[in-house]
């Protein structure tokens, strides 16, 4: 009986520990920032994540008034993913779509937007262009919401610890009598 109780306690601890290691790489900030206006289009966009994404399969598509202006493939430098822009990129509204591989192996995707008054080609944004303020959207193709798996882990751990603790107490009382 005591052996079973110890095993259940150990199992409960095993379930509890790895939860933190399954975190997704969350997009923390971008340059240019989402929903902002920059006077001059930078020669690259930078996406900073909470952890270093895997080098595998990173994609950043930058769409402007003239279409896609991404130049080459993105580079990963620490927690930063950098995407160079073509020197022909004009002023106007830009939308950036990204897909990176989180360090837990899951793909993380999302979009953000900004407005550049002057483009890399020196052109000014056309009159009447509006800034599209759009919240950063992020999605995890691999798992959807993390809430349910975390809840199940917590509940499962509490149940196992509870059963284990109860059995330890019972076996102690049994020894005494
Ligand atoms: Cu994940």
Mean pLDDT (whole number) for 19-48: 90
* Helical (H) or strand (E) element with 165: helix 147-176
Are residue 46 and residue 95 in the same domain, yes or no? yes
Residue 139: DSSP 8-state? E
- Ligand 1 centre to CA of 143 (Å) is 7
Mean pLDDT (whole number) for 71-90: 97
**Domain around 136:** 25-143
pLDDT over 70 for what percent of the chain?
74
Residue 177 in this model has a pLDDT that exceeds 60: no
Are residue 169 and residue 132 in the same domain, yes or no? no
- Ligand 1 centre to CA of 31 (Å) is 24
Nearest partner of 109 among 96, 128, 122, judged by Cα: 96
* Domains in the chain, number: 2
- Ligand 1 centre to CA of 148 (Å) is 13
- Ligand 1 centre to CA of 79 (Å) is 16
Are residue 156 and residue 111 in the same domain, yes or no? no
- Ligand 1 centre to CA of 99 (Å) is 13
**61 strand-pairing partners:** 97
Return the CATH number at 35: 2.60.40.1220
Identify which has the larger pLDDT, 147 or 108: 108
Measured CA to CA, the distance from residue 42 to residue 86 in angstroms comes to 10
Which is it for the CA torsion 122, 126, 132, 138, positive or negative? negative
Owner of token pair 């020669």: 43
- Ligand 1 centre to CA of 145 (Å) is 10
- Ligand 1 centre to CA of 147 (Å) is 12
Residue 62: the pLDDT is 98
Are residue 61 and residue 136 in the same domain, yes or no? yes
Mean pLDDT (whole number) for 120-148: 63
């Amino acid at each position: 009986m005591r052996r079973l109780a110890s095993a259940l306690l150990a199992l409960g601890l095993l379930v509890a520990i790895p939860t933190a290691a399954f975190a997704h790489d969350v997009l923390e900030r971008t340059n240019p920032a989402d929903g902002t206006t920059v006077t001059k289009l930078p020669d690259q966009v930078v996406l900073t994540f909470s952890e270093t994404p895997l080098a595998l399969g990173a994609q950043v598509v930058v769409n402007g008034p003239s279409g896609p202006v991404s130049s080459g493939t993105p580079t990963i430098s620490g927690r930063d993913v950098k995407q160079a822009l073509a020197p022909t990129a004009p002023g106007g509204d830009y939308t950036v779509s990204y897909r990176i591989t989180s360090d837990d192996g899951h793909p993380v995707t999302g979009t953000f937007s900004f407005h550049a008054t002057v483009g890399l080609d020196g052109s000014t944004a056309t009159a009447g262009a509006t800034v599209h303020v759009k919240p950063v959207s992020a999605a995890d193709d691999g798992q959807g919401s993390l809430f349910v798996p975390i809840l199940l882990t917590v509940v499962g751990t509490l149940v196992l610890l509870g059963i284990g603790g109860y059995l330890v107490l019972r076996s102690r009382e049994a020894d005494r009598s």
